[in-house]
Structure 1
Amino acid sequence: MSGKAWGWALFALGVVTVGAGTGLFVWLGLSKGDQLASILSLFVGIAGLAASIAGLVLARKPSAVQAITGSSISGNAEVVRNVGGNYTLRRAPSTAAAPVPGTTSTTAPVAAEQTITGSGIGGSARIVDGVTGNVDINE
């Protein structure tokens, strides 16, 4: 369903809900309708409080960050996480020269969960995430 269709569906649901609530209020009368509205607003308030507390807890949860920053690595560099399936890494022996001191990357650090920034790497650099099996590294 497209976004526009969802919008119309929610609008229709809102119109039906307001109509049903108004009809119920008229049918029950002013006194009983007021009592029912008070009770319903109590439960809506409790649900809203629970949702806001859950949002705060989830927002404060620290994210898992893996980073190689400001390093000088003469070989290869891998940043791997969330492995649940098979991942095989086969490398030939590294023939790359060691990075020259002072020639690190000038890339500014990025606000991400897995990064390699400001580092000189003499070999290859790999960032792996979300593998759905085993990791097999053959050097």
Structure 2
Amino acid sequence: MGSTRWRWMVWVGAGISVVGLAFFLWEEGLDRANQWAGVLGLFVGLAGLVLSVTGGVRGRGGGQSADGAAAGGSVRMVRDVKGDVVIGGAPDAPGPVPDASSAPATDAAGDGQSARGVRAGGDVNLVDGVEGSVRFGEQQQP
């Protein structure tokens, strides 16, 4: 199902829910509607608290993502390196971006770095937690 269609269905569902809740509260009368609103507000507040706490815990990892990237050259993500990073070599002219059918299926490692569905004309490198130096395509000194 397409992303636009999914968003449209969510908005329609939310609109129908709000109209249905308004009709229900109107049928209950002012005093009972006030009681229902208090109970519903409690659950909405608790759900918001749970979502904010879980989002904060997940966000601490400092994740990196190149999901869905399309590049004519290489894609490199480097994180948490204690030392030099040398990405050398003569820069290649960007090539054509590969089509979607050539994108390899990758699984997330669960460490906050991901490159799902990347389409790159060059290498895809994800580096994390290196205590020394990281070098890619370093040119030889004459």
Give the alignment's TM-score, normalised by structure 2.
0.47
Point out the structure with max Rg over C-alpha: 1
Give the alignment's TM-score, normalised by structure 1.
0.48
